[in-house]
Structure 1
Amino acid sequence: MSNFLQDCLVYRDEDILVIQKPEGLLSVPGKGEALFDSVLTRLHAIEPKTLLIHRLDRDTSGLLVFALNKAAQSHISRQFQERQTYKLYQAIVEGDLPERGEVNVPVCYDPSRPPLHIADPNFSKPALTQFEVIEYLTIQNQKVSRVALTPITGRSHQLRVHMQYLGHPIIGDTLYATVDGQTLSSRLCLHATALSFKHPVSGQALKFVCPPPF
């Protein structure tokens, strides 16, 4: 087993592979040789049957599930599409966020400023995020909040845009945080902490938990 899989493997059986993605690594290859390195590329080198189900942003760390056959890929992908999975993230955001609430505003790509996305109430596809503060902290004399984020939908950059929309962007976010917020962490403080779904063969409910490294 390669060092990558040794370091990142959370669970494996004949049908699925669950790993903890490190921050700074693409989930899938991008365009061009410079962006070829990715989780999927590395897994294919170890297990060529690996099939993509979902992805995380390059700078987001945490739990990802991959399939090892077409039937498993189809089964779990359908669970994601029908919102039968459970995903929980942790983040550290700027300022004192209200204790709990939700953001129900569509998120869409902004073609004038790639790769940015924006919150757009007039966009056709809904985006819903629920949040709850875990603790209030101070970093470099600035108030921040550690928060649990539950994305009910799965739009690109949804959590990052929704936190910015609330006026509490995720620290270390070079796309959406304020200048001060970017200096509070050397990485994007967003981590996929928990993931639950039904096993594609047994139907057993599986839950994986991976604490954030920040």
Structure 2
Amino acid sequence: MSEVIYTPPPDEGLDLIHVDEALIVVNKPEGLLSVPGRGADRQDCMVHRVQQRFPEALTVHRLDMATSGLLVFARGEAMQRALSVLFQDRQVDKRYVAVVKGLLAPDHGEINLPLIADWPNRPRQMVCFERGKPSQTLFEVLARDPLKDETRVALTPVTGRSHQLRVHMLALGHPMLGDPFYGDADSQARAPRLLLHAETLSLPHPVSGERASWGCAAPF
């Protein structure tokens, strides 16, 4: 697969959702890498923009370049370790909203399909029952639009595989609108961007231990 030209959105300042002594929560714009990529032309990313204002900020997790929404950064190495443990132990709850092609029949459900890198077509992923890693996604239909033949759906990843939500919806026969990797020509043409947004996130605060939650409505 040919390399996609990286054209990050202009830096218009941070869309800060929350800041305290332990962590920073930002709304990452669509089209911006979470961390630096390979090459000098892929250094503009969310962590570097956050570090311009908070030099001690460190990465804890990532969002796909094409996905917008809530991203958490740690303030210092101790907080990075603490937050990383929360992610590894699946104590972090994340919910995404997406718009997919077609009318998703069940109102809610669970997708359990193992995923593996599609090496000849990286960074694409694919379902593989022989060598794939267990991957689980919960879904809930928010709205169906029969006229547009589209469904708005909430997605909760139980595991955190690369491109998991996008591949799982594709496997159901409902690619996300605007997805350049997994959509067909029609679904790609229906939206100018990938319609996937990290809308809510909650976790036990690494200092107080109390559950903290944040939200950021999808821009579509």
TM-score bracket for the superposition, by shorter chain length: over 0.9
CA root-mean-square deviation: 1.2
Match of 1:119 in 2: 127
Q: CA contact under 8 A between 2:115 and 2:132: conserved in structure 1?
A: no
Q: Is 1:41–2:15 an aligned residue pair?
A: no
Q: Is 1:186–2:187 an aligned residue pair?
A: no
- Please give the alpha-carbon distance, in whole angstroms, between the structure 2 residues aligned to 1:122 and 1:71: 38
- Aligned residue runs from structure 1 range 121-200, under 5 A: 121-137=129-145, 142-200=148-206
Match of 1:105 in 2: 113
- How much does 1:3 deviate? 4.6
- How much does 1:124 deviate? 4.7
- Percent identity, aligned pairs only? 47
Deviations 1:43-79 (A, max 9, x none): 1222110010000000100000100021211111111
Amino acid paired to 1:163: M
Q: CA contact under 8 A between 1:76 and 1:198: conserved in structure 2?
A: no
Residues 180 and 3 (structure 1 numbering): CA distance in 2 closer, same or farther, change over 3 Å?
Answer: closer
Q: Is 1:27–2:28 an aligned residue pair?
A: no
Q: CA contact under 8 A between 1:51 and 1:69: conserved in structure 2?
A: yes
Aligned length: 209
Q: Is 1:83–2:105 an aligned residue pair?
A: no
Match of 2:7 in 1: none
Unpaired segments ≥5 residues, structure 1: none
The equivalent position to 1:211 in structure 2, one of 203, 206, 217, is: 217
- Please give the alpha-carbon distance, in whole angstroms, between the structure 2 residues aligned to 1:4 and 1:32: 24
- Please give the alpha-carbon distance, in whole angstroms, between the structure 1 residues aligned to 2:154 and 2:114: 20
- Please give the alpha-carbon distance, in whole angstroms, between the structure 1 residues aligned to 2:89 and 2:21: 24
- Please give the alpha-carbon distance, in whole angstroms, between the structure 1 residues aligned to 2:130 and 2:159: 17
- How much does 1:177 deviate? 0.8
Deviations 1:156-187 (A, max 9, x none): 00000001111101000010011100011000
- How much does 1:39 deviate? 0.3
